Every structure is written in structure tokens, then in C-alpha cells.
Amino acid sequence: MSEMSYRDAIRAAMMEEMDRDPSVLIMGEDIGIYEGTFRITAGMLKKYGAKRVIDTPIAEAGMVGTAVGMAMLGLRPIVEMMTVNFAIVAADQILNHAAKIRYFSGGQVDIPVVIRGPHGAGVQLSAQHSQSFESFYAHFPGLKVVAPGSPADAKGLLKTAIRGKDPVMFLESAALYGMKGEVPDDPNFTVPFGESRLAREGRDATIVSWGRMLQLSLIVAEKLAKDEGIELEVIDLRCLRPLDMEPVYASVSKTHRAIVVQEQWKPFGPGAEISASINERMFDELDAPVARVTGEDVPMPYARNLELLATPHEEHVVAAVKRVLYRE
């Protein structure tokens, strides 16, 4: 184990896989000479050269289309989006090609493409660059959608993504890049997809979250345990597709209450899917309606104070917990 930032864990995962497998390469805007807008790819051009660390034009559809072609011919490309928001320029390549070619080819052709980049709000990138896309991409069969909430999971999940045979949307929390944590050094350390994790054991209510909101939820859980003796169980989904709800169901059958914490807009968001799944499976176990904590239903403001107001904060989670506990 060594202490490592979320940013360095992502770089370490890519470099270990590039060392291990010569078919792995990365392409993106300003990732080579400039070493990445968020410095994720620092040092990689120097180490692996311009054939495997490819600076592209500003042409996301072209980048993903090229990557899909490379994957069809046996390479394992990683596409870095300067922010995941820009991937919507390549939505046709992602949704209609990467996600469907195995199906169309009768299972003959896999598309091992990882599309990754900073995702979500919290770093003052304004309305076009701060969005959350979990529900957008997780809606489509054929894609995998991953959202790590810690440095260790960032490394382990990214390695699984690179080694896999599916197109993966790898959603990194921009606001967590500087977060430090213990990360296994073992080059064979991976975290499998579709295994939600019990991040904190509790008894009174279940919080379901991922990404940056996981860290927010854990902070609230410690605070409520200390101040009010409320013991929250926190489940880290880690993957939105495949979505492993079993730990959530097990937890809800214990606590009889659930709160989903998601960063952005409430309508049709992941919280709705998770809440509906709990209702379908655990209806008779619920002692209160499933609560959702979400961001405000507005385009993300640039101003720091307004961005803070538009995203969930600790008091919102506390209020939702008390609501499901009937302790308002």
C-alpha cells in the first residue's frame, strides 16, 4: 500500500496497464506535450512516445470513432475527454457504435474502449463542463458506467476497464483528483465491476451513493454518529452499470430506510432508478419513503457561491436522514 492521490492512482493504473500490454494506448486533447489539462497524463508522452500517447485535434467524434476502429482491430485504446461533457459530441460513436458493434456482429467483435475524464461539478467549470452523465450513459445496454469514489477504487476499476472487452464510460470526480488515500501497489490489483461496497456499517438508515457524494455521505455519517448517535450504513455503488443492488437490499432489510445521494439533477437521475428498484424489491421492508438528495434543477452556475448552493451539502443529507427517521 502507498498513499496516493486519486489523480495519481488513475495515472498509475494506465501506466501499469501500458507496461503490461503493448496494445494499450491513450489519445486525447492536450494529453501529450501539455501533459493533460488536469495533469493526469503527466510524463506519459516521454515514457511511451507519440505512437501510444496521441495528441488529437479537437474532434471528439473522430477520437471515439478512431478508438472504435482500433478496438475492432485488436488494440485497447483509452480516450481521455478533457471533461466527460465533451463526449456528447461523440454520442453517436459511443451509443450507436461502441455499445452495439458486438451485438451487430453476432458477438464476433468486442470493443475494449475506455472513455474517461473529469466528471461532475465542484471545480467552477460552469454549466457546460460540470454535468453528471451517469443516468445518460447507464441507460444504454452495451456500455459499462463506472464512477469511483476513492483513489483505490479509481485505480482498481480503471485497470478492470482497460483489461475488459466492453466500452466503458469511466467517470472521474473532478473534485476528488486531489483526494489522497491508501492504494495497493500490487500491479495485479483490480476491482471487479458490478460489486457495490459496504463503505460504512450502521443500523439506522442506508445511504446509497458513489463518486464525490460518497465522500460527502461518509462525512455526514461520522458527524451524525458523533453528534446524535445515528448510525448510518453507507453503500458505495462504484458502478452504475452493471448495478449491484444486492448490498443495498440487504442493508435496507436491516435499516428499513434509504436515502440516495446524487450530485446533480433530480428528474430521471440515478436516484430515481435506485429508489424505484428498492421499492420493487423491498417494498414491505420500508418504514419510510426512499429519500433523494440531489443538486438543484438549474444549469450549473460558474460563481463559486452559486455552485455551492446548487450541489448537495451536508445539511441536505442530514435533513433527508432525519426525514426518513421521522426525527424532523
Partner 1 sequence: MEIIMPKMGDAMSEGKVVRWYKKAGDAVKKGEPVLEIETDKVNLDLEAEQDGTLAEVSAAEGEVVPVGGRLAVVLAAGEKAPEPSRRATDRKDSVKHSTGEYGEAVEMKGPRVDRAAAPPVAANVVAIPAAGGRRRSSPLARKIAADMGVSLDQIQGSGPNGRIVASDIKNVGVRQAPSPVAMKAPGGQAGAPVLHAQSVPLSAMRRTIAKRLAESTGPIPHFYLTADYDVTNLLSMRTQLNEALGAKLSVNDFIVRAAALALRHHPAVNSSWSDDAISQHGEIHIGIAVSTPEGLITPVVRNADQKSIADIAAEVRSLAEKAKNRKLQPHEYQGSTFTISNLGAWGIEEFTAIINPPNVAILAIGAAEARPVVNQERQIVVRDRMKITMSCDHRVIDGAAGAEYLKTLRQYLEQPIRLLL
Active site residue 3: no
- Name the minimum Å distance from CB 66 to partner 1: 32
Judge whether 261 and 312 are in contact, CB under 8 Å.
Answer: yes
**Which amino acid belongs to residue 166?**
D
- Name the minimum Å distance from CB 94 to partner 1: 27
- Our CB check for partner 1 shows the closer of 47 and 313 to be 313
User: Which residues, in sequence order, are bridge partners of residue 259?
Assistant: 207, 291
- Name the minimum Å distance from CB 154 to partner 1: 12
Please list, in sequence order, all residues whose beta carbon lies within 8 angstroms of the beta carbon of residue 72, skipping any fewer than 6 positions away. 101, 109, 111
- Our CB check for partner 1 shows the closer of 166 and 307 to be 307
> How does DSSP classify residue 133?
-
Backbone angles phi, psi at 171, to 5 degrees: -95, 105
What is the Cα–Cα distance from 325 to 299, expressed in whole angstroms? 32
- Our CB check for partner 1 shows the closer of 164 and 269 to be 269
**Which amino acid belongs to residue 3?**
E
- Name the minimum Å distance from CB 235 to partner 1: 17
User: What are 224's three cell numbers?
Assistant: 451524525
Determine whether 204 is exposed, middle or buried from the number of CB atoms within 10 Å of its CB (0-12, 13-18, 19+): buried
Q: Which of 80, 97, 129, 307 is catalytic?
A: 129
Judge whether 319 and 312 are in contact, CB under 8 Å.
Answer: no
- Our CB check for partner 1 shows the closer of 51 and 304 to be 304
What SS3 state is found at 90?
A: helix
Q: Which of 29, 60, 172, 273 is catalytic?
A: 60
Active site residue 60: yes
> How does DSSP classify residue 290?
P
- Our CB check for partner 1 shows the closer of 23 and 253 to be 253
How many other C-beta atoms are found inside a 10 Å radius of the C-beta of residue 103? 11
- Our CB check for partner 1 shows the closer of 56 and 264 to be 264
> Pairing relation of β-strands 168-173 and 114-119?
parallel
What is the Cα–Cα distance from 297 to 86, expressed in whole angstroms? 21
- Name the minimum Å distance from CB 12 to partner 1: 18
Q: Where on the chain is the footprint of partner 1 (CB under 8 A)?
A: 6, 122-123, 173-179, 212, 215-216, 219, 256, 266, 283-289, 291-294, 296-297, 304-305, 308-309, 311, 313-316, 319-320, 323, 326, 328
- Our CB check for partner 1 shows the closer of 55 and 296 to be 296
- Name the minimum Å distance from CB 1 to partner 1: 21
> How does DSSP classify residue 299?
P
Judge whether 173 and 195 are in contact, CB under 8 Å.
Answer: no
- Name the minimum Å distance from CB 128 to partner 1: 19
What is the Cα–Cα distance from 170 to 172, expressed in whole angstroms? 6
**Closest by Cα among 150, 151, 319 to 237:** 150
Q: Which residues are catalytic?
A: 60, 129
